[in-house]
Structure 1
Amino acid sequence: MKVYFNEDTYHTPADTQRFLLDRLSLGTRYYFHYKFAQEILRAKKIADAGNFNRGEWAEASYRIMKNIEKCGGKFHLTGLNNLVETQKPLVLVSNHMSTLETMVFPCIIAPRMSASFVIKASLATHPYIGSIMRARKPIVVDRVNPREDLQKVMTEGQEMLASGRSVIIFPQSTRASDFIPEDFNTLGIKLAKRANVPIMPIAIKTDMWENGKYIRDLGPIDRSKHIHMAFGKSMEITGNGKETHKEILRFIGEHMNQWRQEK
Structure 2
Amino acid sequence: MSIVQALRTVSFYLLLSSSALLWCTLSFFVAPFLSFRARYHFINVLWCRFAVGLSRTVLGLRYQVTGAENVPKQACVILSNHQSTWETFFLSSYFSPLSQVLKRELLYVPFFGWAMAMLRPIAIDRDNPKAALKQVAKKGHELLQDGCWVLIFPEGTRLPPGQLGKFSRGGTALAVNADLPVLPIAHNAGEFWPKHGWGKRPGTIQVIIGPPMYAEGEGPRAIAELNDRAFAWVSQAQQQISGVEPEAVPNNSHVA
Please give the TM-score of this superposition, normalised by the length of structure 2: 0.81
Post-superposition CA distance 1:191-210 (Å, at most 9, x none): 11112111111112212122
Shift of 1:170: 1.0
Which residue does 2:169 correspond to in 1?
186
Q: Work out the CA distance in 1 between the residues paired with 2:41 and 2:166.
A: 34
Q: Work out the CA distance in 2 between the residues paired with 1:76 and 1:254.
A: 18
Which residue does 2:76 correspond to in 1?
90
Which residue does 2:186 correspond to in 1?
203
Aligned length: 228
Superposed CA RMSD in Å reads 2.2
Note the 1:219-234 alignment, pairs <5 A.
219-224=198-203, 226-234=204-212
Which residue does 1:75 correspond to in 2?
63
Which residue does 1:130 correspond to in 2?
113
Contact 2:188 2:206 in 1 (8 A): yes
Contact 2:25 2:111 in 1 (8 A): no
Shift of 1:221: 0.9
Note the 1:1-263 alignment, pairs <5 A.
26-28=4-6, 29-51=9-31, 53-56=39-42, 57-71=44-58, 72-83=60-71, 86-110=72-96, 114-127=97-110, 129-178=112-161, 180-207=163-190, 208-212=192-196, 219-224=198-203, 226-239=204-217, 240-261=222-243
Post-superposition CA distance 1:47-103 (Å, at most 9, x none): 2214181222212111111111112112121112222xx232211111111111111
Post-superposition CA distance 1:231-252 (Å, at most 9, x none): 1111222232233222211221
Contact 1:203 1:256 in 2 (8 A): yes
Range moving further from structure 2, 202-211 or 95-104:
202-211
Determine what percentage of the aligned residue pairs are the same residue. 24
Write the letter of the residue equivalent to 2:103: K
Shift of 1:188: 0.4
Q: Work out the CA distance in 2 between the residues paired with 1:210 and 1:123.
A: 22
Uncovered stretches (5+) of structure 2, i.e. residues with no partner: 33-38, 245-256
Contact 1:47 1:135 in 2 (8 A): no
Alignment partner of 1:171: what SS?
A: coil
Q: Work out the CA distance in 2 between the residues paired with 1:242 and 1:181.
A: 17
Q: Work out the CA distance in 1 between the residues paired with 2:19 and 2:229.
A: 37
Write the letter of the residue equivalent to 2:28: D
Please give the TM-score of this superposition, normalised by the length of structure 1: 0.79
Shift of 1:180: 4.6
